[in-house]
Structure 1
Amino acid sequence: MPDPVGRGTETGAGSRDPPDGPRIRAQFATADLPRHLALFYRTRAEQLATVSAFVERGLALDERVVYLADENEVETVVDALDATGIDVAACRDRGRLRVEDARAVYGEDTFDPARTVDGVESLAREAVEDGYAGLRLAGENTWSFEADCEFDSVIEFERDFDRRCPEFEVTALCQYSLDRFDDAAVGKALQTHEQVVYRGRLCENPYYVPPAEALEAGAPLSNGTLLLEQTRDVDRFERDIERREQRLSVVNRVLRHNLRNDLNVILGRLDWFERSDADPGQAEQIRVIRDAAERLLALSEKARHVDRTLESVDHGQVPLLDCIEETVDDLESELPDLRVTLERAPPDAAAAADSVVGLAIREVISVAAERLDDPSVTVSVRTDGPAGVATVDVAATDPFVSQGTRDTLRSGSEESLQHAVGLSMWVVKWVVESVNGSLRMPSDGPVDRIEFTVPTVPSSGPTDRSV
């Protein structure tokens, strides 16, 4: 095929630093991946960081992983996977992982799209027959420069794979070097993948054309680099806008509804006080006014705290257990009546997580301390779920979150927030979801236990987590 090469001297997007491994690992660990996605990369470090995380996740899910190398030597890929902490030799010996030349699947000299799809289908069926959950396939597409075919034949293979993809237990990652494939090729490739990884971000692809619509799509897209930048920005902007809109909706609801209701209580009691000359009732009415005013002040201050807290969130990897211990120590110093039992995870669960875990822990424990007569809570960390995900559990002997607040958080709406507690729990939900985690309240009534998940990565040194 004609070599669509020659874009390696561009600046701008190409001059940015490659993504870090922990961020893309966290995204792969928590995202619902389609069966067919693409990586667009400029540097080998960027490429290997992404594919290592992709392979690692497949092994953790008990899939058979096949890596098809072309531009990289097989040993280069093996070394990168070893550096991630995967015991490559053991996985290859057991048949869990194959790292081989791409031509073994795509063909030595002549590329036949239909034959190649048949080959992938055979690999998928073989993986399932051998007892694996499915097949995870990562292919370097630079093989196409040496094959006797036009790039449109590669796109035909991509489309045919998509049409037959529902029959496969397959998750495939196609790799496109932006220094090798030109804009026309990138534009065509961009139309054939539902999600893309670009500059360290897993993005929903707004330019994806489903196979059924492909024949009606018209001319291929052009200027692939611009489209990739737009894809990444659109995905980030959409998520940021959704979170900001939800935040503003909640805070505005509080200001419009809760503050207005409490002000009505104050004004109504003051009207009664001004019309009454009955001294025995004055003390009680003053108490009611004071209570309402204090609720108003507390809610107002909490709303300000929420906004400032969310604006100042600082993301960064920290040792998970150290972060939790430091947060607990700080809270026990600030709240003398608080008693926290910290159940430490086993040594092999040592991991790093985003620093927002400390903020989430602080908010949950603060709610319990405020609401409970006996502020005694237990904090534990579990790693018995999916690989690369930790569950943090905060439990008390009595409920500390109302059923109304729980229902509000589950529904994702802002109705019926009656206390500052509701805002604190929204903070927990927002910051946990900002790192692809999730908030759970297992009980059906008033809540005495909060769980949230956070993606994790090894905190130091390679670990054998793949055998």
Structure 2
Amino acid sequence: MDKQAASHSHRGGRDGGVEDAEPVRMESGLEALRSSPEFRGPVEPLEDLDANQHIALFYESREEQFAAMVPFVRQGLSRGERVMYVIYEPTEADVLEAMRDGGIDVDAALSSGALSFHTLEETYLRTGTFDPDDMLSVYRDALEKAKADYSGFRVTADTNWILDERTEIPDFMEYESRVNRLFEGEDCIAICQYDLGTIPAEILRDVVRTHPHLIYDGTLCHNFYYTPPEEYFEPDEPAREVERMLGTLVDRTKAKVTLAETIEELEESNERLKRFAYVASHDLQEPLRMISSYLRLLERRRADELDREAREYIDFAVDGADRMREMVEGLLSYSRIDMHDPAFEPVDCNAVLEDALNDLRIRVEESDAVVSAGELPTVVGDANQLEQVFSNLISNAIKYSDEPPRVDVTAERRGDRCVFSVADEGIGIDSEYLDQIFEIFNRLHSNEEYRGTGIGLTLCRKIVNHHGGDIWVDSEPGEGTTFYFTLPTERA
């Protein structure tokens, strides 16, 4: 995040500064978290929901708290909004440090007035005890002032103070519900922060009821259990809540049934596609074999009648047919992976690697490659499929090396999984292509430079995923490449 952009918040009045900022709506807060490197969990899309800009953040650690708070504040400042922070726990110094670590130029934001910190005595408890009407007036005044000079108003507040003896919890819940009315339709958004380890469950239950949106366990979700303010204070609210709860159960049941039906249809469709790919790949091999054979037969029987150009054309055609057959064979291997689900069993990876190197013996000798390996573990899987993974990765390491290749295979036990690595000192891969290399038929080099089908790494990913693992790559151009993949060491 550009620090200058993060601190460029003040509009300089209606006629200056940030003129084209989008309205402050719930989608703004969603995007702040969705695009943030700190917040790594899923963010539920709004779709057709009537979204009020009031969020409750439930956290169990400072890391969780700051992972949501920092991108929320950072986005507000970058959009030219006024950001108000009511501090209690943690300290202001801790919050400022987290903001600085998140790329926010807090000194510029504070000096311009775009960011401000406020104590309880200046806000929630300025009358000595908590008064919902007084606190709503604090935010109403702050919102009106923000409208004059900023593109919007954004507020976040610590709430552990509500356990103070000067606060009546019913009064606070009334206030939280009424905030929804205050923010409705305004260029304003708020996050209230609740410590799960401090605030009792019976209070948190009411917090859930008064916030349209919740952040919990690294996930932002829209709240099924939210009670709108017009219902929260009605005398028949219990009956309305029962109706809403029953309606929620019916809606969720219908959604689950629809989802289950969709999943079943997709599974059937995927199974048909797998069988089609298998049959098509298998049946294509024979025609391609015939093309190559008859072209070579033509070349032998009409040798005296063919000039150099005709022989060259035949070579091109045979080469194309052979490459097509290699691709078809790759597709056949790809489709076989989950056509038949073998019973996984303990597999000695030392033996698997030895078999892969035996298959690659001629290539290793011709390239003067040196392949070294540490002691490899026993994992749970299919030996034939895992041999394909080692063979493809080592073959690639040999292929993409300008000098005599050096390949190092290692493994490290981590809990019930093992992380394997296949490292080389070859030409490397530019970072912009790292996400593409596992896509089928996606090649970074022409066939004239490096012969291949573009299926090998796709096959590796398919096999590793089929075993319940992950595969990824780390590389620098000219510095070599390391492929990592995980496999289970115990039965699931």
- Provide TM-score, normalisation by structure 1: 0.48
Structure of higher RCO (CA pairs closer than 8 Å, 6+ residues apart): 1
Q: Which has the larger radius of gyration?
A: 2
